[in-house]
Structure 1
C-alpha cells in the first residue's frame, strides 16, 4: 500500500540529538520536483471529489514550501516532508531508491493541534500509557480509525523516527515518536490518515502534534 505498511517491517533510525547545518545537506530537487521555495497548486476538482468523504481541507491558493524535512527509514526508503508558508498544511512523499526516487505515496496533511508537553505526567496522559494513542482503534470526532503500526491486541509503542529539517533561517533535527491510524473513504486509493507524533527538538522541548491527512495521486499536484 503506502509507506506506513512498509515501515512496519523496517528498523527505525537511531535517534540523534546533534545539530546539523544546511551545508551538510545541499538543497536539491526532491520527488516530483518539490523543494524549498517551490510553490504547490492542488487540483481544483479535489475539493468537490472529497466533499463529505473527508474533513481534510484542500488549499484553494498555491502554497509555497517554507521548510523541508527528510526521514531516512533505511533500506533505501525515505519520507520527504514539505511544510508550507501557511502552517496549517504539510505534504509527505514516500519514495524508494533515493530521496528523489520512485514515489510510493503522497499525503496532504492538515495540522489539527500542536501542544507543548511540560511534564512526564502530562506526556503519559496525552500520548503514553494513560492515553488512547497506540490502541488498535482510535475515535476522532465520532469517526473510528484503525491502527496501522503494531500487531499487539492492546496498546503498542510509538514508532521512533528522526527527521532532519531545513528552512531559509535554520536547520535542525527533530526526534519523533509517532502512531498512524487510517480509514477508508470509499474512494479508490484515497484513505484518510490520522497521525500523532510526540516531537522532541534539539533544545529538549517536547510537544504532541496531531495531523489529519488524505492520500493523493501525483496528478493532484502542480509544482510551480
Structure 2
C-alpha cells in the first residue's frame, strides 16, 4: 500500500505513536458536542482511502477501539482533521435488516438528518431528495494484518457555535473481507493541529 511510507503520514502519526489531546479540548467541547474526548491513546492501525488526484483520507485507529482520527491529505499536505468516536455498531443480518436500519425515519440520505435531537445537513450530493450513498474502499494496516474494508457511507454535519468547528455524523455500512456487514454511526469534531500532540 502507498500508505505506509512513513514520510507520507502527517503530524508524526503512525502505528505505535501516541495521540494525546490537549487538556483544553475536553472543556472546550463539553456541552457543545456529544463526542467524549479520550485520554492519550496509542495508534493501533492505519487506514487509507484513495479519493483520486493525490487526495486521500488517512485514518488512525486508536487502541481504544471507540476512536479514530481522520486527516484529509492533498499530496503530502494535511488538510481537515476530524476526531471520530463510534456511537453505535450493529451487525447486519441480511438485506432486509440493512434496509430497516438505513431506510427508517429519519431516512439516511435525505438533506437533513436528525440524530439525538440535533439536526445535521447532508455534505454529499445536491439532490433535493434522497442522495446516493458514497462507496469508499479502505486499505488498513495493523501490526498483525493488512486488509480492506468496503464502505457505503453518508456524511452529515452541523455547526457547533465554535469558530471553524463542526460536528460530523458519519453513517457507514462496512463490509469486511469475509463479507460480514456492520452498520456504524460515528460522531466527529473538527480538530486543529494545536488540539493534540503526538509522541
> How would you bin the TM-score normalised by the shorter chain?
over 0.9
Match of 2:68 in 1: 90
Inter-partner Cα distance in structure 1 for 2:92 and 2:105: 15
* Change in CA separation of 1:218 and 1:25 when aligned onto 2, cut-off 3 Å: closer
Question: Quick one: which of 164, 168, 171 aligns to 2:143?
Answer: 168
Q: Secondary structure at the match of 1:68?
A: strand
Of 189-198 and 48-57, more deviation after overlay is shown by 48-57
5+ residue gaps in structure 2? none
Shift of the alpha carbon at 1:130?
Answer: 7.6
For the Cα contact (< 8 Å) 1:127–1:198, is it kept in 2? no
Q: Secondary structure at the match of 1:189?
A: coil
Question: Quick one: which of 111, 132, 150 aligns to 2:86?
Answer: 111
Alignment root-mean-square deviation, CA: 1.6
For the Cα contact (< 8 Å) 1:71–1:164, is it kept in 2? yes
TM-score normalized by the length of structure 2: 0.95
- Extract structure 1 runs of 4+ deviating beyond 6 A: none
- 1:144-183 equivalent positions in 2, closer than 5 A: 144-183=119-158
- 1:31-110 equivalent positions in 2, closer than 5 A: 31-59=10-38, 61-97=39-75, 101-110=76-85
For the Cα contact (< 8 Å) 2:50–2:57, is it kept in 1? yes
Match of 1:124 in 2: 99
Shift of the alpha carbon at 1:26?
Answer: 4.4
Shift of the alpha carbon at 1:171?
Answer: 0.9
5+ residue gaps in structure 1? 1-21
* Change in CA separation of 1:210 and 1:77 when aligned onto 2, cut-off 3 Å: same
Shift of the alpha carbon at 1:128?
Answer: 4.5
- How many residue pairs get matched? 198
